[in-house]
Structure 1
Amino acid sequence: MFILLILAIILSLYAQSNVTGTYNKYAKVQNRRGYTGAQVATMMMENTGVYDVTVERVAGNLTDHYDPRTKTLRLSQGVYDSTSVAALGIAAHETGHAIQHDVGYGPLALRSILVPVANLGSRMAMPLIFMGMLFSSSSGNFMIQLGIIFFAASVAFTLITLPVEFDASARAIDLLVDQSFLDESEIGGAKKVLKAAALTYVAAAIVAVVQLLRLIGIFGRRNN
């Protein structure tokens, strides 16, 4: 299990490096129609009947996200004003999340419900497990078990994120093509950027699952 964890971490590091490299490559390729990321996001939502989402600029690099609580689509500095193929792919992906919210896409709604549980789980899991390992009594085992439950909640959030991200990317590519924001020679770059981003979520899910299984294995041995 430890070897699997190391391999999963290596995959995660590769995924992070790959998404950065792919983004940097296609950030240098400008779309022929001259659209910016912000313009594409706005027009896509208007064309699909979404009128109550605000598009904002946010600081940072690759910090793009959609906030369903405030119906705000935030695009990073390298995407908001950029006319690159990479920027349009990312803007379209985040627009996909806004459309998911508008149509009531089930996995997105479930992920939103799990956010507070996952946040609590990520904060409490390891402290509880560490404190539990300091005791040899049943109270120690209880704390470990509770910590694993908390960790499992955060893993569940990571897993439900996968279909949400895959669906947003699929919507993004369809919209970029159907609404003629990118032509056939450009859409391949956007696909590669979104595939590289998707791999980071897959790698994170694998790492989380392997960590959970490892904790369960350690806990089982401790009870024997």
Structure 2
Amino acid sequence: MKKVIPIDLNTQLIYQDLKQQCEELSDQAKALAMKAYMKNLFDFYGINAPNRKEISRTFKKNYKFVLDDHLWQLIEYLWADAHREMQYIAIDLLTTFANKMTAADLPQLENMIISKSWWDTVDGIAPALAGSIFRDSHQIRDQYVYRWMESENIWLQRSAIICQLKYGKDTDWNLLSEAILRHDTSKEFFVRKGQGWALRQYSKYNPLAVRQFVEANPQLSGLTKKEALRKI
């Protein structure tokens, strides 16, 4: 029989256990450097990626019985935490469940994209999590991607562009082209960079299409074009 613990107590105690593990590995010098690298937008414990991922792996192993049923409640605690590593751990945990996620999880993922937004978390959510769900239904995919294209939120715009990064030759080229052209004259660095990234990724499978697209759209930013053609 699966061990059952009251949800609120269960999740809060486990969150506190995870927080304690992070505090024990904190490094003030690294934390300050990481904070500076992220434009002083977030506080950090100063935990490097390998150590953080080990925490996530051990955590999932030890608390699998909770994650199976109360994952999203734990994610909410992690996302509300002031330390950026907690958001990274949230994405680590969700990524291990990516193949079990469904369209019902998309509202929460969308909220994560627009909450505490920066490239580090958005790029972990849009391709690997939302993009994984979109593979199962073009109807659901289009419902979200077209709405994200029309949003004034630059992180949703970027998500619409990069959500197919892991599709390879199965990329819907027409949809990607639309997502890019919807903001072809954007002044936002992260939108321009995302456009170039998505085009460069697709150029591995269809370099001619990408080159022709760039040549046919001179209005694209120099950054977008440079990134798009870098591997051709």
Instruction: Please give the range of the TM-score, normalised by the shorter of the 2 chains.
Output: under 0.3
Q: TM-score, normalised by structure 1?
A: 0.24
Considering Cα pairs closer than 8 Å and 6+ residues apart, tell me whether 1 or 2 has the greater RCO.
1
Q: TM-score, normalised by structure 2?
A: 0.23
